[in-house]
Structure 1
Amino acid sequence: MNPTPRSVLFRADGNAQIGLGHVMRCLALAEMLGPDYARRFAVVQPAPAVAQLIEEKGVIIISIQTDEATEFLNLIDSTDVVVLDGYSFDTDFQRAVRARAKALVYIDDLVTGHQVADVVVNHAGGVTEYDYRSEPYTQFLLGPHYALLRLPFFTPKTPVPQEGPIFVSLGGADPGDTTLRVLRGLANCFRTLKQEWRVHVVVGPVQQNRQAIEAMQTDFKHLKILSSLTAEQMATELLKCQLAITACSTVAYEVCSVGRPLIAIQTAENQKRLASFLRQNELIFITLTGDELLSQFVSAFHVGLTSNQAGFRTRFVQNQRRFFDGQSPERFRALFNRLTA
């Protein structure tokens, strides 16, 4: 008789309003754990595109009707390790979950509140356990060595292609329409520099302004719009590019893990700490806020793409490799093997 699979229950939400970051981090972890675990994922009324993302990973999706605690608590078995990722899961909610589960893992990026989970994961750099208030038993897994990335982004590093396209990705939902502003900024750069580069822009499954993005094709000679890429396809696009322009979110970590020159844009307040870490450790050329896009984008792009004096671009890629060693999957599997034992 086969042994009962170890059980992990995920809880996160994602849609066009709040983005897909919480869901994608949980899916990255589910993928690292693999089919040796019985993986379930509870989402409040998931859109078809979100449900498909989850089911494609071999994870059972559970559609719940509200974000009230009771409905989710009734799903928890005493053998489950529960993983929470979301800003609505306050201390009281976490206590209630932990009382029912075998163990509780909380994925965080705000560094607020009192932590009661058995394990807190925050892959942002520059964070220490002393930044948190927590219970004595809480274990902290912090920084890029615990990067929550999908498996294809842990590929062996390759040299940066000199003639590759410009890669643009501002998240799965992009509620602030930053993709459109970046494309307008690039068009302005090309006119200012009197030169054209190929541009590959990735839009997510719940991107609300797809039509306006497609209309930008008249401003470029070579604009390729890609949608709903698999992790493998996304990693391939990154490997082909000579420069990436992304949000200061998980996609920036994907670029760093692959090892490519990067301009990062802070599109939300919760990205401020990560933006600071990327900038201070010289993992990126520059971080911009949304308000700085028009005023500073031309100079940022010019530095990022055309500067290579004294190995300028190479230095940033080498710094990325110091922090992203490709061992996150092994570290997380060791953790969950212990929690589910």
Structure 2
Amino acid sequence: MNHLLFRADGNAQLGMGHVMRCLALADMLKGEFAMKFAITDPTPAVQSLIESAGLTVLPLPDSADKAAFWGDVHSENIVVLDGYSFDETFQRAVRARVRKLVFIDDLIHGHQVADVVINHSGGIAQGKYNTASYTQLYLGPHYAMLRPEFFRSEGFSTPPPDGPIFVSLGGADPYNTSLTVLEAIRQVDATLPVQIVLGPFHPDRASIESFKNQLPNLSILQNLSAAQMMDALQQCSLAITACSTIAYEVCAINRPLIAVVTADNQTQLAHFLSEEKLALSVNFPTLLTRSIPVIGLDKMIRLSIQSFQFSPETVEETLANQRRFFDGQSPERFRMLFQELSA
């Protein structure tokens, strides 16, 4: 059997985006590769998450010494890197030791020397990349790295009009943007049903719990499986999420979406969701200042909720655009790609 080695990190500072993309890709390739996951100093929760996905965890020391990783790399490996510290020098060193190198990117920065670069953000022209002559680029939502529960060839049902508002601001949410979103919902209607999903590194669950006094129909969920997340999204009438992979999961299930930029690396995805009208209220200041003064995030979200409430045409346009980009065929594309790499 072919061997696939993932290298990414996830914690309270970095968030879980790199790890979750790798696990989604691993699930699509399950049964075709023996898979391991090298990660720096994983917490018990993160290690359990990776092991529950069927991958062997290779813990690395929390240091800049790359020797520990080289000991896990073998010439028959296909290695997948996902992280901002894996620059050209690191990529060259890995590629010299392995069968093929794949780099998962979302910054479009530096010179890429991996055999394959994957960036599932939309609206990226291949000419934006500076790559080696042999590097193959796989770009856009047709290569969305989502968990298998979010791919259905028959599609998903229409949004229930009276479903709750779904809220998820990522695995870490270091600035507790969740609380700002809840305040925006309260400004619209304090009686609205709301389901909020907190990530494993949320900094202040107590503040969310205390907000139940102002949103009596607030339900707080944490550490959901992919199947549970899919069920929650199917039940919702509107989703408010970070402008990250969770936004793509909403688009794949086909629900009205308000996407909020919570980190600098979400800029490209923010452009795409906004320009292609897949979501409302992408909190991207340079876009906003072209037409209106920058206003508070709570007010921006409040106005976006009201826009969906009072404009069925906006909802229909958003859902139609989502279906145009998310066709459910990503797993087949990735299996074909990695079969070619292992041939």
In structure 2, the partner of 1:272 is: 267
Residue 102 of structure 2 corresponds to residue 105 of structure 1: yes
User: Does residue 47 of structure 2 align to residue 51 of structure 1?
Assistant: yes
The residue aligned with 2:277 is 282
Q: Deviations over 1:211-233 (max 9, x none)?
A: 11111111112100010000010
Q: Secondary structure at the match of 2:283?
A: strand
Q: Which position in structure 1 is the counterpart of 2:178? A: 179
1:250 paired with 2:228, answer no
Which residue pairs with 2:23 in the alignment? 27
Determine whether 1:293 maps to 2:297: yes
3-state SS in 1 of match to 2:241: strand
Structure 2 residue 114 is the aligned partner of structure 1 residue 117:
yes
Give 2:245's aligned amino acid: T
Is residue 166 of structure 2 the alignment partner of residue 162 of structure 1? no
Correspondence 1:87-102 to 2 at 5 A: 87-102=84-99
Which of the numbers 2, 10, 23 marks the counterpart of 1:6?
Answer: 2
Q: Which amino acid letter does the alignment assign opposite residue 263 of structure 1?
A: I
Partner residue of 2:319 out of 317, 320, 325: 317
Pair 1:230 & 2:234 matched? no
Cα distance in 2, alignment partners of residues 89 and 182 from structure 1: 34
User: Which piece of structure 1 moves more, 279-288 or 128-137?
Assistant: 279-288
Q: TM-score, normalised by structure 2?
A: 0.94
After superposition, the C-alpha distances for 1:133-164 in whole angstroms (9 at most, x for unaligned) are 11000000000000010000113221111111
Residues 36-93 of structure 1, C-alpha deviations (whole Å, 9 max, x = no match): 3101000101011111110111111111103432211221111100000000011000
After TM superposition, give the deviation of residue 18 of structure 1 in Å.
Answer: 1.1
The one-letter code sitting in structure 1 at the alignment partner of 2:5 is L
Partner of 2:38: 42
Counterparts of 1:179-198 in structure 2, within 5 Å, are 179-190=178-189, 196-198=191-193
Task: List aligned pairs for 1:193-212, cutoff 5 A.
Answer: 196-212=191-207
Deviation at 1:125, TM superposition (A): 0.4
CA contact (8 A) 1:10 1:84 kept: yes
Question: 1:213 is matched with which residue?
Answer: 208
State the one-letter code of the partner of 1:7.
Answer: H
Deviations 1:193-245 (A, max 9, x none): xxx21000000112121111111111112100010000010011111101000
Structure 2 residue 93 is matched with structure 1 residue 86? no
Give secondary structure in 2 for the equivalent of 1:288.
coil
Letter in 2 for 1:21: G
1:304 corresponding residue in structure 2: 308
2:162 maps to a residue whose letter is E
SS in 2 for 1:141: strand
Matched pairs, number: 331
Q: CA RMSD, aligned part only?
A: 1.3
Q: Distance in 1 between matches of 2:19 and 2:119?
A: 15
Decide whether aligned partners of structure 1 residues 67 and 231 sit closer, same or farther in structure 2, where only a CA change above 3 A counts: farther
Distance 2:38 2:64 in 1: 10
| 1:306 maps to amino acid | F
Percent identity between matched residues is 50
Which stretches in structure 2 are left out of the alignment for 5+ residues? 286-294
Could you tell me which runs of 5 or more consecutive residues in structure 1 were left unpaired when the two chains were aligned: none
